[in-house]
Structure 1
């Protein structure tokens, strides 16, 4: 395998813990991911007392820290029961949750968050901590969505807009290899009619409908060359809503991998309208690959 084209190194897994059902699901997903990688798992609970210290008594601060330690202990016990050989490190931080997660994460780490925290209304939408983490992280972030113990579908799905998303596809290929499942590369263009699906034509460059190049077929060829033992499929679709089509496809994926937005702005340097729609509504965990950093691909 060409070292410049292989899967990026998959390091430790860092997960936010707050005692909520969503965070508990994220912890168990993160533990399974760390076990697959053969890496350690960091459980992080942030009390956010530094920001609120002027209005909190010492007794209240002590109570928040005790509660945080209890939450971490319960999470660590649950992980040990499911993955007894996994190295687990607990971290109690006095800062803001999203910043605490980013601080613990190394460049090769993956941050994992639940789709909702303890605050706010119970909703399908991404919570404020998850939103801020996804928008500003320099490392991959997984938002755990879908059923807590969802049945595996046997595929990793990656959204591919063009060859600039090769880095995103490489990360997805690494995740597929870990799971021993195929990788499906999916390009969704704006429109109302399908651009065709299935394996690439002989030259790997043209669609059946005309002269327009279909990006996933080009990327698929490069991924197949770099990962000869991985089954890779490429689909091209047209839809009125790009995120809506990806959300529909997420029903049939164990993990959906998408890249960060191409240009700064909107909700942050990583989070754009398409990626926001996906992480808000997907039916499986979503891994967002930051726009910034070596080897990371981009999609709007």
Structure 2
């Protein structure tokens, strides 16, 4: 059945960006309708780093207090040569940093952040959330937009906000700048229980191992119960017409020349999924 909904603000996409946008509008008194293509709200991935500008906005959204129960507040970030193990530089997140930026630098699990934002949206009287709504067409009405979904539902709105990911339907309508471009880098990432960690820099540190065309990032999550690790490298075997590149064998080859601590940490980096990285050239 074709159903037409006329609404002031329509947000497409129920990830972190879409939910935060809906919540921000609602806190200014605007009614918001958000639609998500998946059957239920959920987040893919593990860790997210939030700098002071981000934590300030989360405070403006009224959720920073709840985030404190899940986040880790590191005391420093270190940059280490992945080949030699030499400390290159460090950033202290202590008292001087706090005075300069007012708000903290924090790290947390992406799913925890999404759950907190989702709960806040559900508690709002002016936010409507719907799932199973796959957008297939966007039409410019001049004074608004008309959105059509795969199930035949249509939404007419005064303002349309696209938060629908890398291959955004809204972006295609507004810019039509083509498909995202693979940058030939691939990531292996995931969070493991703290008791499974072989090598770490401690609970108070974000550690970046950097080298030619590769890096490894490590930091604790979820009150220190999990440890997030992300290994990234540029593939020498990339082909646009194939998925046979950025493999586990290549991961091992690229990191074989790194410092012993990096190689030990790599043993616990999750291999169940590879994540090709994309960009949109200006």
- Name the TM-score class by shorter chain: under 0.3
Where is the helix percentage greater, Structure 1 or Structure 2?
1
Larger-Rg structure? 2
**TM-score of the aligned structures, taking structure 1 as reference length:** 0.26
Q: Which has the higher contact order (CA 8 A, sep 6+)?
A: 2
Where is the strand percentage greater, Structure 1 or Structure 2?
2
**TM-score of the aligned structures, taking structure 2 as reference length:** 0.27
